[in-house]
Structure 1
Amino acid sequence: MQTVLIVIHLMIVLALVGVVLIQRSEGGGLGIGGGSGFMSARGTANALTRTTAILAGLFFVTSLGLGILARYESKPTDILDRIPAGTSQGQGSNVLDQLPGAAAPAAPATNGAAPAATPAAPKPDPNAVPTGN
C-alpha cells in the first residue's frame, strides 16, 4: 500500500513541478518573463491556477497519507527487549556486554611464538627530584 502511494505521490510531484514551470511569470524580475507567448490568454492562466491548486491539494493529501501509513505500519522496538532474560546485573557486567554480538576483545595472534613478556616497571632515577606522590 505504501509503495503504491509513493508512486502516486511522485507522479503528483512531477505534474505539479511541470504545471508551475509552464505558468507565466508575474514578477518580471530582471525584465524576463514578460511579453507574449502561448500563455498570454487569461483563460489559460485560470486553468493553470486551478490545476496547480488541485495538484497542491493532492500533494498535501498524499503526504498526510504517507505520514499516517509510516506511523501505523512501523513496528516499534526496544533495545531492552534484545537482552537475554537469564543474565544477572550483579556480576560486574553491564548492559552493553549483554547485547548480542558483543564479545570480549581477542588476544593478538602470536603465530606459534611464545608470548612476549610484559615489561618490568621502570627503575627510579636516583638523581630525580622527588615530587611527593
Structure 2
Amino acid sequence: MENVILIVHLLLAMSLIGIVLLQRSEGGGLGMGGGGGTATGRAPATPLGKVTWLLAIGFICTSLALTIVAAQKSAGSSVLDRIGNQPRTEEPADTAPALPTGDGLLPPSGGDNAPLVPRAD
C-alpha cells in the first residue's frame, strides 16, 4: 500500500513540476515583465492554473497519507527501545576511561588484507 501511494506521489510531483514550468510568467517576482495588461488585482483562472491546483491538492493528500502510513508502521517501536535492549558494560566510577592506543589511530598497512570492521568501543 505504501509503495502505491509513493508511486502516485512521485507521479504527482513530476507532473506538478511540468505544469508549473508550462505556465506563463506573471511577472514581478524576479523583476521580469510578461504579466501586465490588467489593472485589476487578479487574472482569470486558466485551465493550467486549475490543473495546478488539482495536482497540488493531490500532492498534499498523498503527503499526508504517506505520513500516516509511516506513523502506523513505527507505532510500536522506538529507536530508544532498540538501544535499551543491548547489554551494558559498566566501568568502575573511580577509573577514567582508557585512551585508545596508537595502533587504532593509524591506517592499515599495504600488506594488511583484513577487512576494516567497526568496533563498539
Taking structure 1 as the reference length, what is the TM-score of the superposition? 0.51
Q: Which residue of 1 aligns with 2:21?
A: 21
Q: Find the aligned partners of 1:2 and 1:56 in 2 and give their Cα distance.
A: 20
SS in 1 for 2:11: helix
How far residue 56 of structure 1 moved from its aligned partner, in angstroms, is 0.5
Alignment of 1:1-133 (within 5 A): 1-27=1-27, 29-31=30-32, 33=34, 46-74=46-74, 75-77=76-78, 78=81, 79-80=83-84, 82-83=85-86, 95=88, 97=89
CA displacement, residues 29-80 of structure 1 (integer Å, 9 cap, x when unaligned)? 454546xxxxxxx98x610110000000000000000000000012414022
Q: Which has the higher contact order (CA 8 A, sep 6+)?
A: 2
Count of equivalent residues = 85
Among all aligned residue pairs of Structure 1 and Structure 2, give the percentage whose two residues are the same amino acid: 41
Q: How much is the aligned-residue C-alpha RMSD, in angstroms?
A: 3.3
How far residue 3 of structure 1 moved from its aligned partner, in angstroms, is 1.1
Note the residue ranges of structure 1 that are not aligned, 5 or more in a row. 35-41, 85-94, 99-133
Taking structure 2 as the reference length, what is the TM-score of the superposition? 0.56
Check whether the contact 2:26–2:33 (CA below 8 A) recurs between aligned residues: no
SS in 1 for 2:61: helix
Q: Tell which structure's C-alpha radius of gyration is larger.
A: 1
Note the residue ranges of structure 2 that are not aligned, 5 or more in a row. 36-42, 91-121
The AA in structure 2 aligned to 1:76 is S
